[in-house]
């Protein structure tokens, strides 16, 4: 393809599309013309990408089409279609793509927690360095259980605290260090408290108060750690793409994960705020937590597998993501 000749032949309609797309009010005829030109320019973009992938032309046409799409669909985007697509397609796809990363983080977390708990429970000196015996008794018999104070305020507090932890894992994931530090710190804390409770014969109390909300809450933290490590790994191994492009694509998909985790942590926060510290039977509390966890994994595996099979990654749609600079063959 002679790109200069192609551009000269199409320039007038590109400029006309730009003019119509920027107009605040269109007549009926102009609206029809806008749609026709949008379809024609989309074809032009496909031809340029296929035959003469010039980065500047691709960028110009991609941005032109993105602006026009907003003009056609309305300036109130995101629409309900976008919200529905995010919940039913993009989010489960993003969760599904990092499922094995999540499992790996979970296994590492549990190993560290169990080893820490065993070490604390079998070494009295460690416990004494942690708290004196009187403080230990007070914590085991009163403070641990009284922390879970049912109510909206408590639910909101734990939600925002956990959302902040998850945001750090995702946002600072490219460092490769921060997600590991956050996961290790939380694993040691959980293990140490569990070890102290076990040493005082209160492991059942610990599990009954951690399990209801902790099954989903910890899963969300593991997902955040997995997302952060995934973006770090993409930086190390971009997979045949330019590193900047790989980071942009994965970063957008993992931002989808971060948004989704707000909802996941909202559910775990409600459980922690209204179920964990309630007067319900301990077994019923655990069943509620297990149902919430099963709901997450069912959502991720069923909808996520279907979305990924259809080519979804959790990234934005092509015209929303902006221009992609072609990779030279």
The string of DSSP letters for 122-171 reads T-HHHHHHHS-HHHHHHIIIIIHHHT---SHHHHHHHHHHHHHHHHHHHH
Average pLDDT, whole number, for the chain? 87
244 φ, ψ (degrees, to nearest 5): -65, -40
Beta-carbon contacts of 197 under 8 Å, excluding residues fewer than 6 positions away, are: 140, 144, 203, 205, 206
Per-residue pLDDT, 73: 65
Q: Which of 212, 196, 195, 203 is nearest to 282 (CA)?
A: 212
DSSP letter at 323?
-
Beta-carbon contacts of 68 under 8 Å, excluding residues fewer than 6 positions away, are: 17, 20, 21, 34, 37, 38, 41
Average pLDDT of the segment spanning 50-58? 77
Q: Is the pLDDT of residue 221 over 70?
A: yes
Average pLDDT of the segment spanning 194-207? 93
Residue 78: band (very low, low, confident or very high) from pLDDT cuts 50, 70, 90 = low
Percent of the chain scored above 90 by pLDDT? 45
Q: Residue 315 and residue 294: Cα distance in Å, rounded?
A: 25
Average pLDDT of the segment spanning 11-19? 90
78 φ, ψ (degrees, to nearest 5): -75, 135
DSSP letter at 326?
P
Per-residue pLDDT, 74: 57
Per-residue pLDDT, 248: 81
Per-residue pLDDT, 194: 95
Least confident of 50-54, 189-193, 207-211: 50-54
Q: Residue 269 and residue 267: Cα distance in Å, rounded?
A: 5
Q: Is the pLDDT of residue 327 over 80?
A: no
Most confident of 29-43, 143-157, 171-185: 171-185
Average pLDDT of the segment spanning 4-25? 86
Whether the Cβ atoms of residue 256 and residue 221 lie closer than 8 Å to each other: no
DSSP letter at 310?
T
Least confident of 200-204, 230-234, 235-239, 282-286: 235-239
Average pLDDT of the segment spanning 144-158? 84
Q: Is the pLDDT of residue 297 over 90?
A: yes
Q: Residue 188 and residue 130: Cα distance in Å, rounded?
A: 13
- Judge if the upstream peptide bond of residue 78 is cis by omega within 30 degrees of 0: yes
Q: Is the pLDDT of residue 6 over 60?
A: yes
Per-residue pLDDT, 328: 42
Terminal-residue alpha carbon distance, the chain: 16
With both helix axes pointing from N to C terminus, report the angle between 3-22 and 28-51 in degrees, rounded to the nearest 10: 150
Sign of CA dihedral 213, 216, 222, 224: negative
Looking at per-residue pLDDT, the higher value among 238 and 202 belongs to 202
How many CB atoms are located within 10 Å of the residue 268 CB?
A: 30
Polymer length of the chain: 329
Per-residue pLDDT, 254: 86
Least confident of 112-121, 124-133, 219-228: 124-133
Average pLDDT of the segment spanning 301-322? 77
Residue 324: band (very low, low, confident or very high) from pLDDT cuts 50, 70, 90 = very low
Q: Tell me the three-class secondary structure of 192-243, residue by residue.
A: HHHHHHHHCCCHHHHHHHHHHHHHHHHHHHHHHHHHHHHHHHHHHCCCCCCH
Residue 326: band (very low, low, confident or very high) from pLDDT cuts 50, 70, 90 = very low
Q: Is the pLDDT of residue 118 over 60?
A: yes
Whether the Cβ atoms of residue 250 and residue 231 lie closer than 8 Å to each other: yes
pLDDT tens figures, 231-275: 999 999 888 778 887 888 788 888 889 999 999 999 999 999 999
Per-residue pLDDT, 75: 45
């Amino acid at each position: 393809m002679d790109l200069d000749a192609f551009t000269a032949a199409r320039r007038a309609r590109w400029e006309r599309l730009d003019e119509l797309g920027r107009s605040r009010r269109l007549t009926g005829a102009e609206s029809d013309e806008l749609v026709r030109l949008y379809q024609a320019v989309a074809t032009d973009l496909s031809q340029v990408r296929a035959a003469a992938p010039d980065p500047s032309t691709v960028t110009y046409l991609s941005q032109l089409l993105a602006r026009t799409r907003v003009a056609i669909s309305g300036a109130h985007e995101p629409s309900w279609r976008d919200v529905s697509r995010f919940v039913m397609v993009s989010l489960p796809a993003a969760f599904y793509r990092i499922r094995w990363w999540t499992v790996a983080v979970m296994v590492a977390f549990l190993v560290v927690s169990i080893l820490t708990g065993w070490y604390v429970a079998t070494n009295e000196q460690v416990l004494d360095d942690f708290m004196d015996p009187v403080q230990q008794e007070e914590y085991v018999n009163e403070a641990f259980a009284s922390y879970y104070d049912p109510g909206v305020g408590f639910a909101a507090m734990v939600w925002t605290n956990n959302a902040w932890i998850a945001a750090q894992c995702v946002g600072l994931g490219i460092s490769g260090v921060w997600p590991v530090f956050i996961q290790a710190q939380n694993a040691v804390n959980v293990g140490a408290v569990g070890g102290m409770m076990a040493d005082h014969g209160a492991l059942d109390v610990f599990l009954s108060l951690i399990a209801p909300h902790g099954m989903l809450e910890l899963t969300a933290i593991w997902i955040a750690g997995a997302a952060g490590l995934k973006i770090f790994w993409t930086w190390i191994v971009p997979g045949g793409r330019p590193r900047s492009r790989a980071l942009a694509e994965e970063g957008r998909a993992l931002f989808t994960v971060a948004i989704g985790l707000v909802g996941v942590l909202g559910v775990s926060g409600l459980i922690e705020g209204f179920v964990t510290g309630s007067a319900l039977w301990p077994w019923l509390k655990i069943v509620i937590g297990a149902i919430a966890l099963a709901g997450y994994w069912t959502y991720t595996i069923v909808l996520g597998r279907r979305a990924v099979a259809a080519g979804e990654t959790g990234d934005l749609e092509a015209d929303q993501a902006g221009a992609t600079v072609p990779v030279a063959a």
